[in-house]
Amino acid sequence: MTDTNICAFVDAQGFYINGKFVVRECAIVSEKLQLCQEFNPNFKWNDLSDADKSNVKYCTKYHGLTLNPKDLYLIPNSNKIEDYLKSFYTLLATDEKPYFAVKNDQFKQLLIDFNIPHCDLNKRNIPAIKQLERDFRTTWICSHHMLSRNRYFKCAYRKCLIIWKYFCYFSGESQYLKETTLKNETTSN
Ligand SMILES: [Zn+2]
């Protein structure tokens, strides 16, 4: 596995409902396209078990996504995520670059379930996302999240773009270390 085998970076935020990871937003970032699609879990709050309700509340605090999107117009149901990922995999993967890169164990399990070739960035020696966000000074969220000035929310799109930047813009670990060390030295002077 090398960096050049990767056709796109993918990530998702969502909820655990009925023991299953339900995708609420899914980001795909590659040289050819960058996008983040909202999905509609289509669950009614009152139909959820007490355990699922408390899990949804916990996750919403973490990523700032409501259970269902506010505007359902043209937003696919969450159970369409398999077709969605497979269609983009078909579009982006080549013989030379056959892997979606993922750094998210819950989402990786979906890629395994869907038989989509992938590489697990959690098994690679790359910096933690929080570290990359600090180094690149990036904390924005995409428009799918609730607005909050004071809270730090996880965003699948931000995460994919920051990993893409790490791999492509900085051409890998050594250049990243050189650039961030240089920047930190410049800042502290
Ligand atoms: Zn987002």
pLDDT digit string, tens, across residues 79-104: 999 999 999 999 999 999 999 999 99
Rounded CA separation 49/116 (Å): 31
Domain annotation covers residue 72? yes
Domain annotation covers residue 52? yes
For residue 121, CA distances in Å to 40, 108, 167 come to 27, 10, 11
pLDDT digit string, tens, across residues 143-179: 999 987 767 899 999 999 999 888 876 665 445 445 5
Looking at the DSSP bridge assignments, the partners of residue 28 are 10, 35
Domain annotation covers residue 162? no
Q: Which amino acid is at 122?
A: N
Give the long-range contacts of residues 59-63, CB within 8 A, separation 24 or more.
Answer: 59/13, 59/14, 59/15, 59/16, 60/146, 61/151, 62/153, 62/154, 63/13, 63/24, 63/145, 63/153, 63/154, 63/155
CA of 28 to the centre of ligand 1 (A): 11
CA of 186 to the centre of ligand 1 (A): 31
User: Domain count of the chain?
Assistant: 1
CA of 25 to the centre of ligand 1 (A): 7
Q: What is the pLDDT of residue 189?
A: 41
Q: Which residue has the tokens 């690679």?
A: 124
Rounded CA separation 148/66 (Å): 13
CA of 93 to the centre of ligand 1 (A): 24
Domain annotation covers residue 136? no
Domain annotation covers residue 168? no
Give the CATH number of the domain where residue 97 resides: 3.30.420
CA of 12 to the centre of ligand 1 (A): 9
Residues 6+ apart with CB under 8 A from 131: none
Q: What is the pLDDT of residue 125?
A: 82
**Which residue range forms the structural domain that includes residue 82?**
3-124+141-155
CA of 185 to the centre of ligand 1 (A): 31
For residue 136, CA distances in Å to 62, 133, 183 come to 21, 5, 10
How much of the chain exceeds pLDDT 90, in percent?
Answer: 70
| Maximum separation of any 2 CA atoms in the chain, in Å | 57
Domain annotation covers residue 23? yes
Rounded CA separation 40/20 (Å): 15
Q: What is the pLDDT of residue 179?
A: 54
CA of 30 to the centre of ligand 1 (A): 16
Q: What is the pLDDT of residue 171?
A: 60
| Phi, psi angle pair for 160, to nearest 5° | -65, -45
Domain annotation covers residue 80? yes
Residues 6+ apart with CB under 8 A from 71: none
pLDDT digit string, tens, across residues 13-64: 999 999 999 999 999 999 889 999 999 999 999 999 999 999 999 999 999 9
CA of 139 to the centre of ligand 1 (A): 11
> pTM for the full model?
0.87
Domain annotation covers residue 135? no
End-to-end CA distance of the chain: 39
Pairing of the two strands 34-38 and 20-29:
antiparallel
Q: What is the pLDDT of residue 139?
A: 85
